[in-house]
Each structure stands twice: as C-alpha cells, then as structure tokens.
Structure 1
Amino acid sequence: MNLAISDIEAAIDGWRQRAASDEAFAMSAEACALARLYGAVIVHGCEALADAELDDTQRHALQILSSLSTSGSDQSSPSTH
C-alpha cells in the first residue's frame, strides 16, 4: 500500500478535528508522529511512501484514525483534498 502526501495531510486534519484543543493536538503522540512523517516526505521530495517505510507510531496513528472514521459514520464527513 502506498501513502501519498495528501493521505498524510488528511490524517493530520482528522487528528486535529478530533483533538479537544490545539494544545491537546500538539501534545498527542499521533500528531507528532504524523508531523515527523509529513516533514520527512517534504524534505526528501517523496510523492508516496510504502507502508513498510512507516515506523510503528506512524502506522498506529493512521490505523486508529482509519478505524475511527469507518466506525464513526455519525460524525461529520471528512474533508477531501
């Protein structure tokens, strides 16, 4: 599975929407992991990453968000990019 930069952006937006505050978002392990991933993608000029290139925390943050969005269909619909 390949992960595009737009997928990372969407995941960051999803975590931001679920955070109780800006401070809570900034302090979350998931947000930090995804921010590191986003920065690395930009610095290295990658267009996509393979799942195998993610560390455990990044993979976990994406899996949690994915499971929340599929089970929480009563919440507002996610933004599209």
Structure 2
Amino acid sequence: MNFAISDIEAAIEGWRMRSPSDEAFAASTEVRALARLYGAVIVHGCKGITDAGLDDAQRDALRILSADPLRELPQ
C-alpha cells in the first residue's frame, strides 16, 4: 500500500482529535511516530511512502485511516 503525504497529514489530525494534549508540544505516541515520518517525507522530497518503508509504530499509527469509513485509501 502507498501512503501519500496527505494521508500522513490526515492520520496526524485523526490522532490529534482522538487523543488531544493540553500541553503545547506534547503529543501521543502515534502522532510523534507520524511526525517523524512526515518530516522525513518532506526532507527527502517524496510524495509519499510505501508500507515497506514504515516502521511498526508508523504502520500502526496509519491504521487510523482504515478506521474512518468515510475516507477512501489510495490503491
């Protein structure tokens, strides 16, 4: 499966909504994993990443996308 940068952004927002923080720079484990991925995609100038390029924490955090029945995942 391929994940576009917009998928990563949507997953970050989904986790931020699901487990918000009262502290300005604190975030859930999932958001931190996705933030590292998002930064790497931007730094390397990629438009996205394949499932094989993810670590376990990132893969698990991206599962929020499949939990949203209104969202279509790219094929």
Residue correspondences, number:
71
Structure whose alpha-carbon radius of gyration is higher? 1
Structure 2 unmatched ranges of 5 or more: none
Structure with the bigger percentage of helix: 1
Name the % identity.
66
Task: State the Cα distance separating 1:22 from its structure 2 match.
Answer: 4.0
Aligned to 1:43: 43
Task: State the Cα distance separating 1:67 from its structure 2 match.
Answer: 5.1
**TM-score for both structures, normalised by structure 2:** 0.79
Aligned to 2:65: 66
Code of the residue aligned with 2:30 in structure 1: it is E
Task: State the Cα distance separating 1:68 from its structure 2 match.
Answer: 3.9
Answer yes or no: is the 8 Å Cα contact 2:4–2:47 preserved in 1: yes
Distance 1:59 1:22 in 2: 26
Alignment of 1:4-23 (within 5 A): 4-23=4-23
Backbone CA RMSD of aligned residues: 2.4
Code of the residue aligned with 1:3 in structure 2: it is F
